[in-house]
């Protein structure tokens, strides 16, 4: 449950911060992850900082999504989907670069396609 929280936090913080005129999504992701890592390191130690900051970082990939693709609710849902998918896929991709990005991409695609499908079904009624 804590891992879902950090994934969700990463998505929200990055999405909100990147909407500022002086902040782009890359800066928002890296700054948020750095602050998260340092706070958890000070409060809980290196092992937990590594795990929680990794989930925050992956969630921040979700938060880097354009506001034209997903709104705030979509980011929340995609971050939760990221938490679930990463629990399954990350152990299988151990040692392979880009695993967090793949999980984030799959999460955003699932939520975006679901949103588009829901809108089309609602329009038919």
The structure tokens listed for 94 are 């151990």
What is the pLDDT at residue 66? 87
pTM across the whole model: 0.88
Q: Which sequence spans correspond to the domains of the chain?
A: 2-124
Reported as type and span, the H/E element at residue 60 is: helix 46-63
In this predicted structure, what is the pLDDT of residue 77? Answer: 95
pLDDT given for residue 27 in this prediction: 94
Question: Residues 18-28: pLDDT tens digits?
Answer: 989 999 999 99
Half-sphere exposure of 121 (CA within 13 A, CB side): 6
Instruction: Tell me what pLDDT residue 51 has.
Output: 92
Residues in the chain predicted with pLDDT less than 70, given as ranges, are 125
By residue count, the chain amounts to: 125
Reference 13, options 83, 54, 60; nearest CA is 60
How much is the pLDDT for 28? 95
pLDDT digits (tens, 9 = 90+) for 4-21: 999 999 999 999 999 899
């Amino acid at each position: 449950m804590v891992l879902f929280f950090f994934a969700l936090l990463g998505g929200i913080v990055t999405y909100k911060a990147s909407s500022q005129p002086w902040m782009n999504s890359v800066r928002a992701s890296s700054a948020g992850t750095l602050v998260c890592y340092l706070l958890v390191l000070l409060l809980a130690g290196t092992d937990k900082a590594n795990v929680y900051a990794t989930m925050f970082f992956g969630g921040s990939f979700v938060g880097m999504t354009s506001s034209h693709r997903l709104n705030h609710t979509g980011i929340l849902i995609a971050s939760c989907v990221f938490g679930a998918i990463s629990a399954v896929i990350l152990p299988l991709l151990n040692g392979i670069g880009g695993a967090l990005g793949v999980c984030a991409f799959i999460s955003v695609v699932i939520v975006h396609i679901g949103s588009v499908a829901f809108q089309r079904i609602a329009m038919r009624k």
